[in-house]
Amino acid sequence: QVQLAESGGGLVQAGGSLRLSCAASGRLFNTYYAMAWFRQAPGKEREFVAAISWNAVGIAYADSVKGRFTISRDMFTKTAFLQMNNLKPEDTAVYYCNADYNPRTEVDATFLGYYWGQGTQVTVSS
């Protein structure tokens, strides 16, 4: 199977930054896995934030985070990152890592993988 473990969440003031990490493991997780970040705020549905292809050539962002968030990955450590700058109170949510086998070199905002992490809380105070 595939296990995903998020870390890096916390409490930050508006305008601040956080960097989330997602470490992947498991015998099924191989080179050709795309990875993504979703978030869910209280009372709202889970929404797409960003995705990255297996080779980091394809990257996609939700309009709400473009220019502020950056997704990246380290293929050797099987880790994805989400650098979040200029955070706003509306970014407050539980952030989930998501992954699935996808050998394509492009991704878009419709990406939805099968495997999920447990989530990490991000709280932005005003």
Interval 57-70: pLDDT, tens: 999 999 999 999 99
Q: Rounded to 5, what percent of the chain is helix, strand, coil?
A: 0, 50, 50
Q: Indicate the average pLDDT of the chain.
A: 96
Does 30 have pLDDT greater than 90?
Answer: no
CB 122 within 8 A of CB 84: yes
User: Can you say whether residue 15 is alpha, beta or left, with left for phi > 0 and alpha for psi between -120 and 50 degrees?
Assistant: left
Residue 87: which pLDDT band, with cuts at 50, 70 and 90?
very high
DSSP label of 35: E
Q: For 90-102, write each residue's pLDDT tens digit.
A: 999 999 999 999 9
